[in-house]
Every structure is written in structure tokens, then in C-alpha cells.
Chains A and B, each alone.
Chain A
């Protein structure tokens, strides 16, 4: 620890100390332990202007360490009514409130519990935060027996506790895989956050992107001319690396395909290289496509806000596909975006009956599994291209890369897209190594920064939450010399970079399509000596 470092910087945290975790909870009952709101472990509140712009209640100035959170006078009534409404609208919520047997299978499955040891980060207790109020307010036993029946009174301290712990869950659903009833903590956290929103208790790291996304089409607030400049800049770098000039059409009517990707790919390294990867691939195969400035983000922080916010932000994708007259939609490498696209979009904003079943113009493959949403994942598209021999690949251009693959939570547990990215990686890299079995596929560990928690003021929790993933990465680094961690998620690429820098500095983060393009032999290319990062490639980089 350096004396000048602040809680939002990783230098503030001693690695040895942070890596000492006791997973045996003890001492006082959690209901009697007040929340320890320490800097580095919570996220700053939403600014008034963002709540006003998006139309959410109770915009005001407040701070989590303030004694008075300036809640509405009838806050208790609001919460109880909010719970009542959601219990009657979501079977998931009602059933999950009722059937947990506290078997403890989930207890040590959460990355925040493993990395921090805080008992309330055991998924079962995260649900008990809500369940204890549910028992007291909605069940006879809880009303009569109170604490004996696991109930407790709803107080301002409970609201503070909810805020702290529902923003220490990345909605990654790992615990749900192990639960004998499939109780999904993501669902619990989503309800908890919806309830907090009713009081105006929320975080800026989510609400600013939400407001931006509503206005400009993307979370980062990139305006149309900014996106044009960004893509042109990418084209310049691509030309420098490959000698090939690629185009990136924007809002082009009549294109066959609308391409939607997370906006992180436009701005944050190393996601930007993945975006360049898409552009090279589309150029090389001559795909008739367009980006959109209006639908310039497939990511959806509405998912981390409320079902209504999710629907409001997601609507633009089908609206833009209709306006531009495309035939189908292709989605880039993103995690939570694919949860929304796979499990919510069609229900919320469909039916997409004005589009056609996605069909690869190069291979003729009809993607029947997407016949209703009309939207496919880019790794499905690219894996199909490679399988049909449509890409001229030279994996030796990636010979300096020893790569492992991080399954992103949502594509893994809300979709099940495991083989497509692996097939691609094996086709474009000669050195691919899996992490241990209990840390990949459906058992994959979160990056620690998903669901809107990837901000620097939350640094302690990000480093702790990222520890299980980093531990597995370090294992393959030591065993196989792995030096690259590939992830098909914009949040992963941003937050795992920090996690790796802290826990396994020898490994850096990359995207699938960055590696695809680095192995792609493009028509008319010059002799490839550097990759998209303009660094030496292949054998010469190994010295």
C-alpha cells in the first residue's frame, strides 16, 4: 500500500492482505450487524440530472455515508406496495421468496463472498435481505412470530443494507446453477434494485449510462459525429496495420444487416481492437451491413435498473432495424447485452415480423434458432464462416498469444454459447488452454464488475470479486504460460484488465474478433508485421 493511494486506486490495496479471506462466518447474527459503508466498497449515488432526464423519482443530493438519505416521507409504504406489486407480477420473485431451504449449496459460489468473506454476500443471505421483510409483511408466521420466523422490521437501516448488498451482486447467476430449485439471485437483486429505485436510491455508474443511452443511443453518450470520427480513426489504424482501407457505414438504409455492439467497443481499450476486428472481418467477406448511431449500443444498463428501463432502452434496436429496412440483425461481443437480446428483447419489443430469418450471405446457413428474434451472435456467424472455409486464416500470426477463454456470465448462463467462441479461438490460435473445469462454462466466475459495478470507486469489491477468476487465470499462466485472456464481453474487457493487472499482471485481456482479425489474411494486405494494437506479431514477438 502506498501512502498517497486512494480507495479508488488498486495501489491502495495490499495484494497479500486482500488475498487472505476467511470463508467461515461467525459472530453476531447478520441482522444485528450494521453495514460497514467503507470507501472502495460502495458506488456513488446518481446525480439529479440523470434521474430527471430519464424520469425516475426523488432526484436529490445525498451520499451513502450520510445519516439522512432524504427518503420520501412515505418510503415504507412505497416499499411494501412495491413488493406487493412485484410478488403478483413475477412468479420467480414469489416462488423464490417461499421455497429456499437454506441448504447452503450457494453459499461459497459467489465471487464476492469467496473474495471477501462477508456473510451477506452468500447468495442465500442476499435473498434473506428481502425474504426477512417479506416474511414479516406478507406471511402470517412472520407477522406473529417475527424474528423467530426469520422476519424483521423494515427500517431505514434495512434500506441502507439493501443498497450496499444489491450493488454488490453482479447478477451473474452462478449461484443459480448450484441451487436445487434454481433460485436466481439475479432475479432477487433485480427486484431489490427496482424497489430501491422507487425511493430514488441508485448509483450514478448505472444511471448516467442509462440517461446517456436514452438520449444518444449509447451508454457513453457518443454523439453521431463522434461515432463517425471514432470509426474513421479505427479505419486509419487498420490501414496502418494491414494496408487495407475498410469502410464502416453508418445509418445506411437498405443494408442487409444491422450490426449492434456494446458501445464500450468504441471507446475503451482493449474493446476498441475487437471493434476493429469486426470491421476487418465484414470488409473481408464483403458483408452488406451498417452500424447505427441511433441504435449505437446493444448493451443495456436498463437491465441493471428495472424491467421498464430495460424495455425503454432496448426498443431502439428493432425500431432502427425497421427504419433502415435491414433483413436481420447481428450482435457483437457483449455479455449482459446478450442476456437482454436472448431472454427479453422479443418479449418486450417484438415481434420482429418485419425482419427475415438470419441467413449468412456467404454460406447460406439459416440460423433457425433465431427465427423469432432475427438476431444472431457474431461468434455464431463467424464460427459458421470458418466451418465453411470462408476465411483465409493464418493462426501462426497469433503464435505469440497463449490464450485462455473466459466465459462471460450472461452468454454462459442465460444463453449457453460455449462451443462457438472456443471453435473460433482454436481456429485462429495455435495455443489455447482451458482454465480449471469448475471455473468455466456454466460454472464460470464473474469479472467482478458486471451489472453496473465496474467503477473505480468500487475498487475494493472489484478486486475481491475478480479474485476467483484471476486465481484460475494465474493457474493457467503458471501451468501453460498463458498470456492472453479472451472474453466476449465489453465489461469483461474493461474490468478484467484491472483484475488481471492487480492479480496476474503477466496476462492481458483481448476479444475474440481481435484475435480473428490478427489471424485473418486479408485480400490486398501488406506483409503483416504488427497486430491491431500496432505491436509486433507472430514468432518475432516472442523474443
Chain B
């Protein structure tokens, strides 16, 4: 049901764009208006969410420590797993953001008869997630060739390297293939693994279907439909130079592709995809474990009712005296 809802939503989006451009010819709407609106929503939405998170105070310094603390001189600390300084915390975050350090730790638990726990290493999620995110980035960077004139040499180089397999004309890029495979794996994992299927919501399937559709339409455009690239570039350059062009020569599927991307951008700030910004703000990861060396201030700290020593001695005076324990007031 949750899967079906998400799938139906993505199919409906496809039909919408197909009818819109393929039948009704609304190229300006799908090629200009919606992309601009989506981009505006994306930029403002993400900024709003991040600013709102950042505005919430961090009353306590609560890093999750995953390595030896810094204490005695002769004990070797683990600065990347248990940072003691801001720089070390930054490096820990870098490992987390660039290489998904925590996922690399993943294990799989199994309980055998008599309460015997077997835990094996399980790196598939790490590999799949890393492959997806990095390839997505490469594909994004490759796409800047549509938005720049002249195309920066590094983008051309990246595209060249990406196509080193020399399969097909134009060359099939490795990043797209891996991206498709990784997304397929992440989806299959959600469908097949009992624990993950049980916890998955429509909000988990929808972005996967959407991303798969984006990649699929992109591959179709490049390898099957072989749309007129100059027309696509015309639309893209029009968007970035604020001189929109309807791109009459582009295949209707291109507008479907663009529409899916627009939906992704618009959906982004309201979804779990915001983990992209949130990961930087997680207090268990981005702080140094140096509480005993450097005092952390709680901005909303307030006085609380305590039981003072005077009250304590008042209540237990006789018992303290009998036990021969020194008193403040005899």
C-alpha cells in the first residue's frame, strides 16, 4: 500500500508532464515556469529549514563517543572517533559526510537457539548509500555542461573519465549506471529486508521512485531518444541567463525529465531529504567531547529548587551528631 501510493504518485507525475508537453505543448510551463518555481522553493525552503534548526539552541554538549577519550598523556586518544577539539570534530564530520563513517560500522544481528547472538559485518548499506550519493554528485556536476558556455575543462574531464568504458555512442557513463544500480539496490533492500520494509513509509519510497525516474528518463534521453542536445542546452542556458527559451527542438521526454527534477527540488525541503542539511547540525556528532576541559553554556539555563546542605543538616542534625559526623552548627 505504502509502495503503491508512492509508485502511483510518480506515474501520475509522468502522465502530467507527458500530457502537458507531449499533447498540450506547454513547453514554457514545464521548461521555464515550473523549474524556476521549484528552484525558488528549494533554495528558500532549504535555507528556511536550516536557519530554523540553527536557531534552536544546543543546551548541552552531548557527543556520542566512539573511541578513546583524551585523558592521560600515555594513553593514545582517537581524535576522529572522540574529538577533543573543534578541528577534530570537523574532521569527524568530514568522515561522516564524505564517507559515511557510521554506516561503515554496520553489523547484522541474528539470534540462534538458546539466546546466542551472532553479529556479522554488513557493509552493503554503506556501499549502496555511498555509491548512490557520490554518483549522484558526479552526474550533477556533469550536467553543468548544459548550464555553462564555454564548459569548464574540469567538467569535460570528468565526463571523459566517466565514459572511459567506451560502450555505445554517446559513451555510457559509469556514474549513471552505478547510480541506477545503487538506487535499485536501495529500493530492493527496502522491499526485501523485513526490518526495513516494516519501518518504511511512503516518504521513503517516493523519493526512490522519483530518483529512479529521473535517472531512467535521463538515460533514455541520452541513449535511446537521442534528443537534440543543442535544444536542451538552449533551454538550460536560457534558465541560468534569465532569458528563457522554449527549446522547440527538444524531445517531450526531456520535459518529463526536467519536471521530475523540478518535483524533486520542490519536494526536498519538506522531506527526509533534508538530512543533507541536518547531518551538519547533529549535536551528537558535530561537537567535541571536551566537556571536562571547556565549559559549555546553556543559553536558557534557569535556577532550580535544590535541597541545600543547611536544610539537610537541619533535618538530620541528631543523626549526624550521634554518628560523630562534624556539623556546621553544633
Is residue A389 contacting chain B, with contact meaning CB distance below 8 A? Answer: no
B60, B284, B328 pick with most chain A CB within 10 angstroms: B284
> Which of A19, A26, A181, A418 meets B115, CB within 8 Å?
A19
B57, B115, B290 pick with most chain A CB within 10 angstroms: B115
Interface flags, B192-204, vs A, CB<8A=1, else 0: 0111101111111
> Which of B64, B110, B325, B328 meets A184, CB within 8 Å?
B64
Is residue A394 contacting chain B, with contact meaning CB distance below 8 A? Answer: no
Interface range on chain A: under 10, 10 to 19, 20 to 34, or 35 or more?
Answer: 35 or more
A18 to chain B, nearest CB (A): 7
| A430 CB contacts on chain B under 8 angstroms | none
Is residue A141 contacting chain B, with contact meaning CB distance below 8 A? Answer: yes
A432 to B254 Cα, complex, angstroms: 66
| A30 CB contacts on chain B under 8 angstroms | 198
A503 to B111 Cα, complex, angstroms: 14
Interface stretch of the complex, out of A60-68, A398-406, A436-444:
A436-444
| B281 CB contacts on chain A under 8 angstroms | 91, 95
| B78 CB contacts on chain A under 8 angstroms | 416
| A441 CB contacts on chain B under 8 angstroms | 67
Which residues of B in the span 294-330 have a Cβ within 8 Å of any Cβ on A? 294-298, 300-301, 304-309, 312-313, 315-316, 319-320, 322-326, 328
Docked-complex contact B275 and A25, CB < 8 angstroms:
no
Docked-complex contact A312 and B306, CB < 8 angstroms:
yes
| B316 CB contacts on chain A under 8 angstroms | 216, 223-224, 293
A15 to B304 Cα, complex, angstroms: 47
> Which of B52, B64, B84, B322 meets A413, CB within 8 Å?
B64
Is residue B129 contacting chain A, with contact meaning CB distance below 8 A? Answer: yes
| A346 CB contacts on chain B under 8 angstroms | 291-292, 295-296
> Which of B57, B62, B278, B325 meets A414, CB within 8 Å?
B62
| B111 CB contacts on chain A under 8 angstroms | 19-21, 23, 114-115, 467
Q: If the complex has contacts A107-B195, A177-B105, A224-B325, are A18 and B285 also in contact, measured as CB distance less than 8 A? A: no
Residue of A nearest to B299 (CB): A89
Interface flags, B177-217, vs A, CB<8A=1, else 0: 00000000000000001111011111110000000000000
> Which of A21, A150, A387 meets B74, CB within 8 Å?
A387
A68 to chain B, nearest CB (A): 31
A382 to chain B, nearest CB (A): 11
A173 to B105 Cα, complex, angstroms: 15
Docked-complex contact B203 and A149, CB < 8 angstroms:
yes
Interface stretch of the complex, out of B95-103, B151-159, B233-241:
B95-103
> Which of B74, B106, B195, B297 meets A122, CB within 8 Å?
B195
A430 to B274 Cα, complex, angstroms: 52
Docked-complex contact A316 and B326, CB < 8 angstroms:
no
Is residue A119 contacting chain B, with contact meaning CB distance below 8 A? Answer: yes
Is residue B282 contacting chain A, with contact meaning CB distance below 8 A? Answer: yes
A144 to chain B, nearest CB (A): 11
Residue of A nearest to B311 (CB): A215
Docked-complex contact A442 and B66, CB < 8 angstroms:
yes
| A180 CB contacts on chain B under 8 angstroms | 96, 100, 102-103, 129, 279
| A348 CB contacts on chain B under 8 angstroms | 298, 301
Interface stretch of the complex, out of A197-205, A249-257, A275-283, A489-497:
A249-257
Is residue A73 contacting chain B, with contact meaning CB distance below 8 A? Answer: no
Residue of A nearest to B49 (CB): A98
| B306 CB contacts on chain A under 8 angstroms | 312, 315-316, 319
| A342 CB contacts on chain B under 8 angstroms | 289, 291-292
Which residues of A in the span 293-347 have a Cβ within 8 Å of any Cβ on B? 293-294, 307-308, 311-312, 315-316, 319-320, 323, 341-344, 346-347
Is residue A450 contacting chain B, with contact meaning CB distance below 8 A? Answer: no
Residue of B nearest to A26 (CB): B194
Interface flags, A265-292, vs B, CB<8A=1, else 0: 0000000000000000000000000000
Is residue A369 contacting chain B, with contact meaning CB distance below 8 A? Answer: yes
> Which of A91, A294, A311, A470 meets B58, CB within 8 Å?
A91
Docked-complex contact A365 and B72, CB < 8 angstroms:
yes
> Which of B65, B102, B110, B326 meets A415, CB within 8 Å?
B65
A5 to B52 Cα, complex, angstroms: 55
Q: If the complex has contacts A104-B199, A181-B275, A438-B107, are A384 and B72 also in contact, measured as CB distance less than 8 A? A: yes
| A351 CB contacts on chain B under 8 angstroms | 295
Q: If the complex has contacts A26-B198, A104-B199, A346-B292, are A187 and B62 also in contact, measured as CB distance less than 8 A? A: yes
A252 to B196 Cα, complex, angstroms: 58
Docked-complex contact A371 and B194, CB < 8 angstroms:
no
Residue of A nearest to B196 (CB): A104
Is residue B16 contacting chain A, with contact meaning CB distance below 8 A? Answer: no
Docked-complex contact B297 and A91, CB < 8 angstroms:
no
Docked-complex contact A92 and B62, CB < 8 angstroms:
yes
Docked-complex contact A184 and B62, CB < 8 angstroms:
yes
Q: Which residues does B use to contact A, with CB under 8 Å?
A: 5, 49, 52-54, 56-72, 74-78, 81-82, 84, 96, 100, 102-103, 105-111, 113-117, 119, 125, 129, 193-196, 198-204, 270, 272, 274-275, 278-279, 281-285, 289-298, 300-301, 304-309, 312-313, 315-316, 319-320, 322-326, 328
Q: Which residues does A use to contact B, with CB under 8 Å?
A: 15-16, 18-21, 23-26, 30, 55, 87-92, 94-96, 98-105, 107-109, 114-115, 119, 122, 124-125, 128, 139-141, 148-150, 173, 176-184, 187, 214-217, 223-225, 227-229, 250-253, 293-294, 307-308, 311-312, 315-316, 319-320, 323, 341-344, 346-348, 350-351, 365, 367-373, 375, 380, 383-384, 387, 412-420, 423, 436, 438-439, 441-443, 467-468, 470-472, 474, 503
Query: Which 9 pairs across A and B sit closest by C-beta, in order of nearness?
Result: A19-B115, A99-B278, A416-B65, A416-B69, A182-B284, A24-B194, A182-B285, A228-B323, A104-B196
A-B contact pairs, 9 of them (CB 8 A): A21-B115, A102-B196, A128-B199, A180-B102, A342-B291, A369-B70, A370-B293, A371-B293, A416-B77
